[in-house]
Amino acid sequence: MSIKKTAQTVQFSLPGFSSGLVPSEPYIGIDEAGRGCLAGPVVSAAVWLPQGALSETLSNLTDSKLLKAEERTALVPLIKKEAIAFGLGLSWQQEVDAYNVLKATHISMLRAIIALKINFDKKNKAKTAGLESLPLLLVDGNRRIPDALFMDKAFLGNQTCKYPPRQRTLVKGDLLASSISAASVLAKTFRDDLMEAYELRYPNYGFYFHKGYATQAHRDAILKYGACRLHRKSFAGVR
C-alpha cells in the first residue's frame, strides 16, 4: 500500500492504483463470498468508491480474508459512508443446485449491481438510464459476468439494460483495487452474519463457527445428521 501526504489529510492507495492495473476511469468493484461453501447462499457485493486514493478512514482496506472479523465489521459503515453507491446480491442454495455454482455466483453479482444502481438512484433522487449507463465493472478473478445474463429479463426485475455494461476482470483484485477490496468486505461480513444467525435454526451443524465452509467438523455433522435445507445438495460433500 502506498501513502501520499497532502496538505489536509493522508491518502492511501492499494498496489493496483499506482501500478496501472486498476483503471484510471471510474469503476465499480465486484466480489463474492461463499462460492465454495457446502451450505448457504453465494453473496456478492458491488461498490463504487470515489476515484483515486483512499481517505485515512479506509487505510486498512484489503482482501477481506486477511482481516480479522472485528476489522471487517468496523470497515462496513466506513465503506458505506464513503461509497458513491453500493449493493449486495444473493443467490441461494436452490439456485446453486438448479444451475451450477458459477452461474449462481454471476446471478448474485448481477443482483448486487442492480442493488447498487437502486442505491445510486435513491441517493440522487432520480432514476437514471439502464444498467448500460453504469461505469466500468471490475470483477475479481478471471471470469466475466456473461453478457447474456444482463439481457435476461428473468433476473432484471424493474431494471432495464439496452446492452451489456462494459466490464473487466482482475485476478487478485481484492488485493489490488480498493473498490473490489471494499466489495469483498461487504460480501463476507454480510454472509458471515447471516450464517451465524442460522445457528439458531440449525444448531447441529456449527454454522456460527464455519459459516458453511467444508471444515471437517461440518462434514462430520452432515454425516451424523444429514443435510438441512441450507445445504447445497449438488455438492460432493453433501450428497
CB 45 within 8 A of CB 112: yes
DSSP states of 153-196 as a string?
A: HHHHTT---SSPPPEEEETTHHHH-HHHHHHHHHHHHHHHHHHH
Does residue 31 have a known ligand-binding role?
Answer: yes
Measured over the CA atoms of residue 213, residue 167, residue 134 and residue 9, the dihedral's sign is positive
Does residue 140 have a known ligand-binding role?
Answer: yes
| Cα–Cα distance, 150 to 80 (Å, whole number) | 25
The strands making up 167-170's β-sheet, listed across from edge to edge, are 85-91, 42-48, 27-33, 136-140, 167-170
Does residue 95 have a known ligand-binding role?
Answer: no
Lookup: cell for 130: 439502464
Q: Which residues are annotated as a binding site for a divalent metal cation?
A: 31-32, 140
Q: Write out the binding residues.
A: 31-32, 140
